[in-house]
Amino acid sequence: MRVLVTGGAGFIGAHIVSALIGRGHEPVVLDALLPTAHHGPPAPPESGFVHGDVRDTTVLSAVLHGVDAICHQAAMVGLGKDFADAPGYVSCNDLGTATLLAAAAEARVRQVVLAGSMVVYGEGRYACPRHGVVRPGPRSAADLAAGRFEPPCPRCGAELVPGLVDEDAPCDPRNVYAVTKLAQEHLTAAWARATDGRAVSLRYHNVYGPGMPRDTPYAGVASFFRSALARGEAPRVFEDGGQRRDFVHVRDVAEANVAALEAVAEREAGVLTAYNTGSGEPHTVGEMAAALATACGGPDPVVTGEFRLGDVRHITADSRRLRRDLGWSSCTGFREGMAEFARAAQRAPGAAQTAGRAARYGTAAHGG
């Protein structure tokens, strides 16, 4: 199978390319190579490579020739710095996806696997002892500043018990990045209906592993901590460190993409199917920081009590649908993966990384 991998020179995309080659497929990489994600040219590609942007219709018309399926990884990721980043996110993620899908329709490509994200859910699943499953609203700045990090029951104020989110949970994106990821899914679903295409969205949880970018405000929390430890500094843990996440290794995510690409032709035509893509092994952010610091032999994490508006408290996945439908499972355990990540090289930042808020188009890690 000939597969176009957008963002294929980036962190997750490069691992997908390697996994595709390992399974006998022919990946073609399209990547803008902007300096926020790449420090100089990438390593010699393992497959065909095109330097270009998914918003460039001329590039797309050429690169889609002979392609059987698209693995769409290119995106601007992370929570960002502030709302001034919103136009960049919408342009890269939503305009880019719309342009790509329009070109795919013209080229009669009918199979797409999208890099989705768990951020579309907003807060995770919560149960109140009295009212059952409830949906707390966004946490207020006043509560966060006072150290009240756990969202209470919206009906009685009781303490809630967090649980696993399945794909049928309502979506409630809480920041600009999350909104764009949900819009990508809606665009892809609309494309599938209009073209009798077949589409899968893999809703990544917190992806980490070798090649993760460093020293960038647009990467995930694992990258922040690893970058600090590489500088000999203690990881700075926001809130009280009790936020629950699902940290999934990048090689497992790459294998999930290959499994989805191999199965997408068998999916129902005109439909997008979403799959949570997590390890199934929730850990707190504090636990992750401690495990990484121990594996690096670095200073212990510092719990700061700081917070970011737009962050959610707990979000962990139920990935049973992916295991059941595609036969995929996470193979890298938390301790093993963090030990490897502590030794692995990170992707160096580009020169423009500290050059303000110019428009960005990158391929960094999902999750926050």
pLDDT digits (tens, 9 = 90+) for 93-144: 999 999 999 999 999 999 999 999 999 999 999 999 999 999 998 999 999 9
User: 208 an active-site residue?
Assistant: no
Q: How far is CA 156 from the centre of its chain?
A: 34
Three-state SS at 255: helix
- Do residues 3 and 66 touch, judged by C-beta distance below 8 A? no
Average pLDDT, the chain: 90
What is residue 36's predicted lDDT score, i.e. its pLDDT?
A: 64
Q: Report how far residue 236's alpha carbon sits from residue 304's, in angstroms, rounded to the nearest whole number.
A: 6
Q: Report how far residue 183's alpha carbon sits from residue 166's, in angstroms, rounded to the nearest whole number.
A: 19
Q: b/e per residue, 326-361, with b = 16+ CB within 10 A?
A: bebebebebeebbbbbbeeebbebbeebeeeeeebb
Three-state SS at 273: strand
Please give the torsion angle defined by the CA atoms of residues 243, 15, 214 and 359, in that order, rounded to the nearest 10 degrees: -100
| Sequence-ordered strand ranges (E) for the chain | 2-6, 26-31, 48-51, 69-72, 111-117, 125-128, 132-134, 161-165, 198-204, 206-208, 236-237, 244-245, 247-249, 271-277, 283-284, 302-303, 316-317
Neighbouring-strand partners of residue 248? 207
Catalytic residue among 177, 204, 208, 275: 177
Reply yes or no on whether the pLDDT at 360 is more than 80: no
Q: What is the pLDDT of residues 317-334, one digit of tens each?
A: 899 999 999 999 999 999
Q: What is the pLDDT of residues 204-217, one digit of tens each?
A: 999 999 998 887 66
What is residue 310's predicted lDDT score, i.e. its pLDDT?
A: 80
What is residue 79's predicted lDDT score, i.e. its pLDDT?
A: 67
Three-state SS at 52: coil
Which CATH fold topology does 2-124+165-343 show?
A: Rossmann fold (3.40.50)
Q: Taking the domains of the chain in order of start, what are their residue ranges? A: 2-124+165-343, 125-160
Dihedrals phi, psi of 75, to nearest 5 degrees: -170, 155
What is residue 367's predicted lDDT score, i.e. its pLDDT?
A: 40
* For residues 2-7, average pLDDT: 97
Q: What is the pLDDT of residues 72-103, one digit of tens each?
A: 999 988 766 678 889 999 999 999 999 999 99
pLDDT band at 48 (very low <50, low <70, confident <90, very high): confident
> Taking the CA of residue 256 as centre, how many other CA atoms within 13 Å lie in the half-sphere pointing to its CB?
34
- Do residues 112 and 199 touch, judged by C-beta distance below 8 A? yes
User: Measuring CA to CA, how many Å separate 26 from each of 85, 198, 326?
Assistant: 35, 20, 21
Q: What percent of the chain has pLDDT over 70?
A: 89
Q: b/e per residue, 120-151, with b = 16+ CB within 10 A?
A: bbbbbbbebeeeeebebeebeeeebeeeebbb
* For residues 55-82, average pLDDT: 91
Reply yes or no on whether the pLDDT at 233 is more than 90: yes
What is residue 286's predicted lDDT score, i.e. its pLDDT?
A: 97
Reply yes or no on whether the pLDDT at 43 is more than 90: no
pLDDT band at 35 (very low <50, low <70, confident <90, very high): low
Neighbouring-strand partners of residue 206? 247
- Per DSSP bridges, beta strands 302-303 and 132-134 are unpaired
Reply yes or no on whether the pLDDT at 145 is more than 80: yes
Three-state SS at 181: helix
Q: Report how far residue 45's alpha carbon sits from residue 49's, in angstroms, rounded to the nearest whole number.
A: 7
What is residue 356's predicted lDDT score, i.e. its pLDDT?
A: 30
Q: What is the pLDDT of residues 237-287, one digit of tens each?
A: 999 999 999 999 999 999 999 999 999 988 899 999 999 999 999 999 999
Residue 11 amino acid letter: F
Residue 148 makes CB contacts below 8 A (sequence gap 6+) with: none
pLDDT band at 309 (very low <50, low <70, confident <90, very high): confident
What is residue 213's predicted lDDT score, i.e. its pLDDT?
A: 83
